[in-house]
C-alpha cells in the first residue's frame, strides 16, 4: 500500500484509516496496519513508529466514536425512521447489557474482533459507559492491538499478515455462533419476552 509513497505520507494514511475505522467508519484500518507492518522490514517505514501511529490513531478514533455515541448515538440508534430500525434498537439493547456485564474487558477485546471494532466505541458511548473507564480500557486495547498485530506481521511476514487478518473474522464468527446458541436456549431472555407478548391482550 505504501511502497511507492514517502514514509511520511504512509504514516498519515495509516493514521487516517485506523482512526476512521475506530470512530465507526467501515474502512480497512486493520489492513492498513498489516500493510504498514509488512513494509517495516525492508521498506521505508519504521516498526516502532508504525506501532505508535496506529495506537495513537486508534485511541483518538475510539474517543471520537465514544463521544459521538454519548451525544448523538442513542438518538440515532433509537430513531423511528431510517433503515434497520429494529436492528439498531437491538444493537443498543445488547450493547447496554454487554457493557454493564463486562465493562472495560468488552472494549479491550472488541478491538481485536473484526466488525465489532468499528462499532464498539459508538455503542459504548450510547450505552452510557463511564468516560474514565472507557478511556483506560480503550488505551490498553489500542496499544495491545497495534503492538501485537504489527509485531506478528513483522516477525512472520506474509504468514503473520494472514493470521492477523483472519483471526479477527474468526473471533467474530465464533462470537456470532456462541451468541446464537445462547439466544436459542430455553432459559434465555428471548423466550419470556415472546411468551409475554403472546399473552398480552391485542388492542385494536
Domain presence at residue 163: yes
Place of cell 451525544: 71
The domain in which residue 52 lies consists of 7-176
Domain total of the chain: 1
Quote the pLDDT of residue 126.
84
Q: Is 14:53 a contact under the CB 8 Å cutoff?
A: yes
Distance CA(63)–CA(48), nearest Å, equals 23
Residue numbers of the chain with a pLDDT score lower than 50: 1-3, 189-204
Q: How many CB atoms lie within 10 A of CB 36?
A: 30
Domain presence at residue 191: no
Quote the pLDDT of residue 164.
92
Place of cell 521498506: 43
Domain presence at residue 182: no
Distance CA(202)–CA(204), nearest Å, equals 6
Quote the pLDDT of residue 189.
47
What is this structure's pTM? 0.77
Quote the pLDDT of residue 192.
38
- Cα–Cα–Cα angle for 102, 195, 83, rounded to 5 degrees: 65
Domain presence at residue 202: no
Quote the pLDDT of residue 76.
61
The predicted-structure confidence for 16-43, as pLDDT tens digits, reads as follows 999 999 998 989 999 999 999 999 877 7
Domain presence at residue 185: no
Quote the pLDDT of residue 186.
59
Percent of the chain clearing pLDDT 70 (strictly above): 68
Domain presence at residue 195: no
Q: How many CB atoms lie within 10 A of CB 108?
A: 20
Q: Report the chain's mean pLDDT, rounded to a whole number.
A: 79
Amino acid at each position: 500500500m505504501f511502497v511507492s509513497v514517502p514514509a511520511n505520507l504512509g504514516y498519515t494514511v495509516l493514521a487516517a484509516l485506523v482512526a476512521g475505522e475506530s470512530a465507526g467508519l467501515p474502512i480497512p484500518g486493520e489492513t492498513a496496519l498489516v500493510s504498514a507492518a509488512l513494509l517495516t522490514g525492508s521498506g521505508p517505514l519504521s516498526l516502532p513508529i508504525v506501532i505508535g501511529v496506529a495506537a495513537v490513531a486508534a485511541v483518538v478514533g475510539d474517543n471520537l466514536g465514544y463521544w459521538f455515541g454519548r451525544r448523538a448515538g442513542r438518538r440515532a440508534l433509537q430513531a423511528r425512521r431510517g433503515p434497520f430500525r429494529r436492528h439498531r434498537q437491538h444493537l443498543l439493547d445488547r450493547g447496554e447489557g454487554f457493557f454493564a456485564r463486562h465493562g472495560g474487558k468488552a472494549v479491550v477485546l472488541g478491538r481485536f474482533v473484526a466488525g465489532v471494532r468499528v462499532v464498539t466505541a459508538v455503542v459504548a458511548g450510547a450505552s452510557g459507559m463511564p468516560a474514565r473507564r472507557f478511556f483506560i480500557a480503550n488505551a490498553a486495547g489500542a496499544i495491545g492491538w497495534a503492538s501485537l498485530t504489527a509485531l506478528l506481521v513483522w516477525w512472520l511476514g506474509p504468514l503473520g499478515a494472514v493470521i492477523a487478518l483472519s483471526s479477527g473474522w474468526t473471533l467474530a464468527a465464533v462470537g456470532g455462533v456462541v451468541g446464537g446458541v445462547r439466544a436459542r436456549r430455553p432459559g434465555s431472555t428471548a423466550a419470556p419476552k415472546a411468551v409475554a407478548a403472546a399473552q398480552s391482550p391485542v388492542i385494536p
